Structures are given as C-alpha cells and as structure tokens.
Amino acid sequence: MIRRIDKGTVKRIVNLRQVQGLSFQIIGERFGISATRAVQIFKRQQKKQQASNVKPENLHVTNTKAFTSRKLQTS
C-alpha cells in the first residue's frame, strides 16, 4: 500500500539525508517506507530545487529588446 507523504515529512527526509548524512535505509526505517522510496523522494526534491534555481534570463533579454525596438519605431 502506497501512502502519500506530506510536505513536512519530505522536508525532514531531505534534511536527514543532506545535513545529517543518514543512509536511505535508516531513513526508510524511521518513516516506515522502503529505502527505494526514500531515494525517489530525495531525487524528486533535488530536481525540484534545481528547476526552481533556473532563471529565464534569455526570455527577459529578448522581451526587453523587442520592447525597445517598438518604442524607437513609434517615436
């Protein structure tokens, strides 16, 4: 049976792995999940963190250039 894990538990799992360096097997035992599930949760959170750190700088520059050229044409 797969149980849904709340955000607080996910944060605690990530913290135990990153800060305290516990193995996935120990984390799984603490939360009553398998080590494989703990690995999946940890990897999913890492991907979310990496995706949130990416900034769409190229989109901003393109929009700024387009706005500037339109503004110059109307003047």
Q: How far apart are CA 32 and CA 11, in angstroms?
A: 16
CA atoms within 13 A on the CB side of 72: 6
pLDDT of 1 strictly over 70 = no
Q: Euclidean distance between the first and final Cα of the chain, in Å?
A: 67
pLDDT of residue 50: 86
Q: What is the pLDDT of residues 7-46, one digit of tens each?
A: 999 999 999 999 999 999 999 999 999 999 999 999 999 9
